Structure 1
Amino acid sequence: MIQKTDILVAGGGIAGLMAAMTFAHRGYDVICADPAPPITDQADAGSDLRSTAFLLPAVEMFDQIGLWSHLAPHAAELNTMRLCDAGGVENVIRETADFVPEEIGQPRFGYNLPNLALRREMAGFAQSADRLDLRFGTGVRNVLTRTSHALVTLTDGTQVEAELVIGADGRSSPVRESAGISVRTTRYGQKAIVFAVSHAQPHDGISTEIHRTGGPFTLVPLPDAPTGTHRSAIVWMETGPKASALMELDEAAFTAAATERSCHVLGPLTLESPRRIWPIISQEAQALTARRIALIAEAAHVMPPIGAQGLNTSFADIAALRDASTRHGLGTPEMLADYASARSRDISLRERGVEWLNRAAMTDVQALRDLRRRGLAAISGLAPIRQTAMRTGMGLSRPGQ
């Protein structure tokens, strides 16, 4: 027997759940399928040490569906974005640029949330949402599209007829493959080491990104521990061999190396979690839509973790798809063309911008490091450029938005 729904969302990660809840909140019947079990049932759930910085437009989307009040207790404010160049002969900060949201009429940039708390709260909220059918432990096997609908076969054999399929199923998206959409992939020879630390000095809501070689070293505020201990999440990007060598260090040696790489901006660091390592790539789908299919998030684009662009770009995808559904029939060619038009250029520009920043941060050529420093000083000293960069990074197209 074929089950019918308005929308099938493939992927129950952060972006997939948000898409499913957003459309259910709009009154659509939604099935959200993901091959992974619910996060509360995962024995290794604590191994996801990543955190996610949400800029204000994404926070507003949480608030619109009633979710933000559940997330706020786990969040740390992001009040300043600080870029530092430490590309001199000595590993010390020689140039700093602070980006302050009040300059563009915003109270803060956003908030940082640990992914584990984020996904647990999202899943719990989604389970109680009207018109939303969550199917964890069940993935998408195949998608066949017709003029009026898509027929989706799930891994448990269930067949679902939907007016729209949203592919939020990651960088190896089965939905994208079923649609025959290719991707452009860039590999940087980098890996990111992700871990959490405590530190003596408070972070004061400042996210600090330090550029030397190999890639950025970013300290992102986390809420203080119940004991009052100050904490931050760290993403340390390095060339593959150096990252692998760092992973081989014992805890004491690794902590010392991390403290040195941080230029001691928060004092001595203490490792508070295991370390995890991920390869860094960029990936861009060559189309965002196919008949009755829309791609969002990592099914559509993957970016290095710089400037909080990755998941915030995904939330912009969801907002654009939501808005297109208010102007056109669900899953129609007109709706899908509207969505693609709204998102294609922005995604490409953000991909190129993040790639440029990453390559500038990677360089080990002293002359290029000195040029990077001069560029940072120029941005810091020119208010119109600085303000435009902040509005663009936050997804605000004009002053006062």
Structure 2
Amino acid sequence: MTVPVQTSVQTSPARPSPAAPPRFAVAVVGAGAAGLAAALALARDGVETALVGRHAPVADGRTVALLDGSVRFLTALGAWSEIAPHASPLAELQIVDDTGSLFRPPPARFSAAEIGLDAFGWNVESARLVETLRSQARTTPGLTLFEADSAGMRLADGAAVLDLEDGRALSAQLVVGADGGRSPLRAASGLRTREWSYPQAALTTLLAHDRPHRDISTEFHTRNGPFTLVPLPGGHRSSLVWVTAERAAKRLSGLDDADLAAAVEHQARSMLGAMRIDGPRGLVPMRGLSVERPVADRLALIGEAAHVFPPIGAQGLNLGLRDAAALRDAVFSAREANRDPGAPASLAGFGRTRGVDARLRGAAVDMLNRSLLTSLLPVDALRGLGLVALSAIPPLRRMVMREGVQPRLGAPSLMR
């Protein structure tokens, strides 16, 4: 009798399929102020949001003047109550023509009270603003933090996939590029950009001074650019943004504290008395950048990823916060209509209004700066007449002040 031999067949265990990356409605790339504000605004509305980016230290010594609309936005996010004690109101703005022009107008003064506000805005150290927003992001429901840099974005299966430098990945219906002026997401998107530069640099630092600033921000218009003193809390501290010729800015940045303080006091005509340097210094290149339109396939750009301004007129970050608030409105509208937030129809209005706003603000800053750099008499005359008209015609002055701090064009709901 033959006994059948049983043979056993050994099979290799099945390899587990790679886990699908976590999915989100929106992924914000960039952990600066604009990116943080956008992520917080979306999560606050119940949008499943990822925030991608290392929480690197913020350079000390830089401040930002948050205009009224930005303060409203931060209040809606629940962040302003922590920032306010460390901010100084900008109740008045004084412009002094120091160009030496034949058409030099008298100093012009603008008061926030004239348009029913306590202040045009509030000046706060950038590090304080960002750290407050980061602290809030760590405890906000519906907001997942990936504290790693993005390694790139690709499209797959009707979504965007973000690969991170630490090997992780995630997918989202919409990616928000808030990754700065050298934005890798913008570069990879193929969006057309325009870049320019000026023969200037901006020296920044913090100052202590003998006389009180009385919540007045003073801007001297010089032939090399604006020299601006902005109040800080305490009454006897201010931040400095001194825009001047590039070579002169480098020379000033190399002075010791005593010599630099003397140079600042001289340029300020001793308006605030004796000065001393009260913080670190920065040297900011004067350059500009704009994109033709801030949207691409499943991508929306905000902040300096979409526009870079020189530090004149407090426009840069305030425009970035308007981007963030407007993006929240676009995503909210898409959800209300049961639309994909990353679809072209969902982003069309955002791209149109944000592009127009950025171009208008950029043109105003560029025109002011270039008008100071030329000594052509017609240009000097027009600039001088403009300041005289603003001083002499109250309705015109109030209209310009309102537009400066509360722009009506496409104003996002959280800034109204």
Q: Same fold (TM over 0.5)?
A: yes
SS of structure 1 residue aligned to 2:262: helix
Rounded to whole Å, the distance in 2 between the matches of 1:243 and 1:158 is: 43
- Tell me, yes or no, if structure 1 residue 271 matches structure 2 residue 277: yes
- Give 1:197 shift: 0.3
Q: Amino acid of the residue matched to residue 219 of structure 2?
A: E
Q: Amino acid of the residue matched to residue 215 of structure 2?
A: G
**What is the match of residue 388 of structure 2?**
377
Unaligned runs of at least 5 residues, structure 1? 40-44
Q: Amino acid of the residue matched to residue 166 of structure 1?
A: V
Q: Does the aligned pair in 2 maintain the 1:184–1:283 contact within 8 Å? A: yes
Rounded to whole Å, the distance in 2 between the matches of 1:384 and 1:13 is: 38
- Tell me, yes or no, if structure 1 residue 17 matches structure 2 residue 36: yes
Q: Amino acid of the residue matched to residue 174 of structure 2?
A: L
- Tell me, yes or no, if structure 1 residue 77 matches structure 2 residue 89: yes
1:212-242 deviation per Cα after TM superposition (whole angstroms, max 9, x unaligned): 1211011111111xxxx61000000011111
**What is the match of residue 86 of structure 1?**
98
SS of structure 1 residue aligned to 2:22: strand
Q: Does the aligned pair in 1 maintain the 2:152–2:163 contact within 8 Å? A: yes
Residue among 267, 272, 297 paired with 1:261:
267
Distance 1:146 1:97, change over 3 A: farther
- Tell me, yes or no, if structure 1 residue 31 matches structure 2 residue 50: yes
Rounded to whole Å, the distance in 1 between the matches of 2:149 and 2:315 is: 27
- Tell me, yes or no, if structure 1 residue 173 matches structure 2 residue 192: no
- Give 1:362 shift: 3.0
- Tell me, yes or no, if structure 1 residue 194 matches structure 2 residue 213: no
Residue among 294, 313, 316 paired with 1:310:
316
Q: Amino acid of the residue matched to residue 8 of structure 1?
A: A
Residue among 109, 122, 130 paired with 1:98:
109
Rounded to whole Å, the distance in 2 between the matches of 1:299 and 1:168 is: 6
Q: Does the aligned pair in 2 maintain the 1:88–1:370 contact within 8 Å? A: no
SS of structure 2 residue aligned to 1:108: coil
Q: Does the aligned pair in 2 maintain the 1:181–1:287 contact within 8 Å? A: yes
Rounded to whole Å, the distance in 2 between the matches of 1:82 and 1:361 is: 17
Correspondence 1:199-278 to 2 at 5 A: 199-224=209-234, 230-278=236-284
Greater shift in the superposed pair: 184-193 or 328-337? 328-337
- Give 1:303 shift: 0.9
Q: Amino acid of the residue matched to residue 388 of structure 2?
A: A
Residue among 347, 351, 359 paired with 1:336:
347
**What is the match of residue 53 of structure 1?**
65
Rounded to whole Å, the distance in 1 between the matches of 2:145 and 2:113 is: 40
- Tell me, yes or no, if structure 1 residue 149 matches structure 2 residue 149: no
- Give 1:38 shift: 4.1
**What is the match of residue 345 of structure 1?**
356
Rounded to whole Å, the distance in 1 between the matches of 2:73 and 2:299 is: 22
- Give 1:369 shift: 4.4
Q: Amino acid of the residue matched to residue 380 of structure 1?
A: S
Unaligned runs of at least 5 residues, structure 2? 1-18, 410-415
Rounded to whole Å, the distance in 1 between the matches of 2:378 and 2:209 is: 33
**What is the match of residue 42 of structure 1?**
none
Rounded to whole Å, the distance in 1 between the matches of 2:407 and 2:294 is: 22
Q: TM-score, normalised by structure 2?
A: 0.88
Q: Does the aligned pair in 1 maintain the 2:105–2:385 contact within 8 Å? A: no
- Give 1:198 shift: 0.6
Rounded to whole Å, the distance in 2 between the matches of 1:210 and 1:151 is: 48
- Give 1:155 shift: 1.1
SS of structure 2 residue aligned to 1:95: coil
1:21-48 deviation per Cα after TM superposition (whole angstroms, max 9, x unaligned): 11111111211112x4443xxxxx5x42
Rounded to whole Å, the distance in 1 between the matches of 2:230 and 2:239 is: 5
**What is the match of residue 143 of structure 2?**
132
Q: Does the aligned pair in 1 maintain the 2:293–2:352 contact within 8 Å? A: no
Distance 1:89 1:346, change over 3 A: closer
Q: Does the aligned pair in 2 maintain the 1:214–1:363 contact within 8 Å? A: no
Q: Amino acid of the residue matched to residue 401 of structure 2?
A: M
Q: Does the aligned pair in 1 maintain the 2:101–2:380 contact within 8 Å? A: no
**What is the match of residue 77 of structure 2?**
65
SS of structure 2 residue aligned to 1:107: coil
- Give 1:368 shift: 4.7
Rounded to whole Å, the distance in 2 between the matches of 1:254 and 1:15 is: 32
- Give 1:385 shift: 2.2
Q: Does the aligned pair in 1 maintain the 2:114–2:398 contact within 8 Å? A: yes
